[in-house]
Structures are given as C-alpha cells and as structure tokens.
C-alpha cells in the first residue's frame, strides 16, 4: 500500500493449502491495496486541510486581537498565549520577554489549561540550565516530546510533568529574538504540525515586536513633535545642555 509514492503497509494473506490463491484472488488483493491507499490518502489530505484551517484560525484570532492602534506588549502577550492555547492541548502556555526594569528574562504572561493565571508570571527565567534558554539565545525551536523527571523547563517553581511534552518557539524577526513562547502538557501527543503553527505565530509576533521597537527608536530619535511642530522633550533637553555648555565656556549669562 502506497502513500505519496512511499510504501506505508503490506496486505498479506496465507493458507494451509497449496496453491490456494489464483490470479483472480491476487488481482482482488491488488484492488484492495489500491482502495486502502486511496482512502488513506484522502483522509490524510482532509487531516492536513483541517490542520491548515486551525493554523489560519489561530493566526486570524491573533491578528484580530493585536491589529489595533497602539498595541502594547501586554496585549500582544495576551493574544499570543490565547491563540496558542487554542492550537495546542496543553496545561500551561506562557511568554518569556526581557524585562528592562529587572534587567533579566522573565515570564511575562502565562495561563493554565482552565484559562487561569499561571503561577510563574513575573518570575525570572533560569537562563543557565532551563529548556527554554536555547530558544531565547539561539532563536531556535526546542521540542522535547517526553521530558525526563528533574529536567528544569523554565523556573524552579514550575509544576512537575509526568512524561509530558515541552515546546518553546522563538519570537524573532529577521534581526533579533525578542523572547520565546512555550507550551507544555501531560500527554506526549504533540504533532509536528502543531509545532509549525506555533512557529508561525511566533514569527508573526516577532515582526510585531520589531515594529514596536522601531517605532520607539524613531520616536526617540526624532527632533520635532509631529503634533505641535516644536522640539520634543529629548531634543529640548539636548539643546538646553548645549546652551549650558556654551554659557559656561563663554562666561556669559544664560
């Protein structure tokens, strides 16, 4: 039996009698193999279409939640977790971002399977020996189908997994990695298609975070406030410092 020109199974028959199968019987078996191959291919295509539909729905849900003027990091993280939780059946989904105030990577947002706030929110990530660390620093996906007991996934206060899975995908643009999205569950059933969907959502998030970052940089580097036509606060402070230096060097009144 074939699927996409690859042998996926063999239909066998045996008998205690000599020459029990004639050409008609062998021809019938051949027809059954073609029938089974056709049905398998049909069901596989339907499954692929269903999975693709799930991916599009998750992306549409994510975009509808963040495609608003002035979307904040909190709104993006919330949308990211909620859309990812609808794709992967897991008991915990979270987002790791860099906290400028604490100067460390923290769990920005996480929820449990029941939609309740997770117990790790706001805590610093172990960047030395956790499973999520390579995803943050290398920008690569980490997928462990069955996590061994005692393996640190994100933080020391995390709940134990009983032969569960752990997956972390980077939130990266073409230039930077802004964090990671992680999901974990008690069952070891995690398909490669689920991981691909999470990676796609992560890439979309990375692009949005890049846009927010660039907007902040442009706003900070611009000299004129577009709403008033006057110098913005940064440019005003810079000009004031220049005048202070000039007055000091020329010994003239300010």
Q: Tokens 């960047």 identify what position?
A: 127
Predicted confidence (pLDDT) per residue in 49-96, tens digit: 776 776 677 677 777 766 666 667 777 777 777 777 777 777 788 889
Predicted confidence (pLDDT) per residue in 190-245, tens digit: 777 788 888 888 888 888 788 777 777 777 667 777 778 888 887 888 889 999 99
Q: How many CB atoms lie within 10 A of CB 14?
A: 6
pLDDT (mean) for 26-38: 89
Q: How many CB atoms lie within 10 A of CB 95?
A: 26
Q: Indicate the average pLDDT of the chain.
A: 82
Amino acid 75: pLDDT: 74
Amino acid 232: pLDDT: 81
Looking from the CA of 164 toward its CB, the CA atoms found within 13 Å total 18
Query: Distance between CA atoms of 184 and 88, rounded to whole angstroms?
Result: 9
pTM over 0.75: no
Q: Tokens 């000599």 identify what position?
A: 18
Short-list 191, 184, 217, 205, CA closest to 58: 205
pLDDT score of 43 more than 70? yes
Greater pLDDT, 155 or 114: 155
Strand, coil or helix: 48: helix
Amino acid 100: pLDDT: 83
């Amino acid at each position: 039996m074939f699927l996409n020109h690859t042998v996926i199974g063999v239909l066998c028959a045996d008998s205690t009698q000599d020459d029990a199968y004639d050409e008609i019987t062998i021809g019938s078996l051949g027809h059954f193999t073609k029938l089974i191959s056709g049905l398998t291919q049909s069901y596989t295509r339907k499954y692929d279409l269903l999975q693709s539909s799930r991916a599009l729905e998750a992306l549409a849900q994510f975009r509808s939640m963040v495609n608003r003027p002035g979307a904040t990091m909190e709104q993006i993280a919330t949308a990211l977790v909620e859309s990812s939780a609808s794709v992967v059946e897991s008991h915990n989904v979270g987002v790791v971002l860099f906290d400028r105030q604490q100067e460390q990577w923290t769990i920005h947002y996480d929820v449990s399977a029941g939609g309740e706030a997770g117990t790790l929110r706001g805590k610093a990530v172990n960047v030395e020996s956790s499973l999520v660390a390579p995803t943050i620093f290398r920008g690569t996906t980490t997928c462990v189908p069955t996590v061994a007991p005692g393996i640190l996934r994100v933080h020391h206060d995390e709940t134990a997994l009983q032969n569960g899975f752990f997956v972390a995908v980077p939130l990266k643009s073409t230039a930077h990695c802004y964090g990671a999205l992680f999901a974990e569950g008690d069952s070891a059933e995690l398909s490669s298609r689920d991981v691909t969907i999470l990676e796609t959502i992560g890439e979309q998030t990375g692009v949005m975070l890049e846009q927010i970052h660039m907007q902040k940089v442009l706003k900070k580097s611009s000299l004129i406030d577009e709403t008033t036509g006057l110098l913005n606060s940064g440019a005003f402070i810079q000009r004031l410092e220049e005048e202070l230096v000039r007055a000091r060097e020329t010994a003239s009144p300010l």
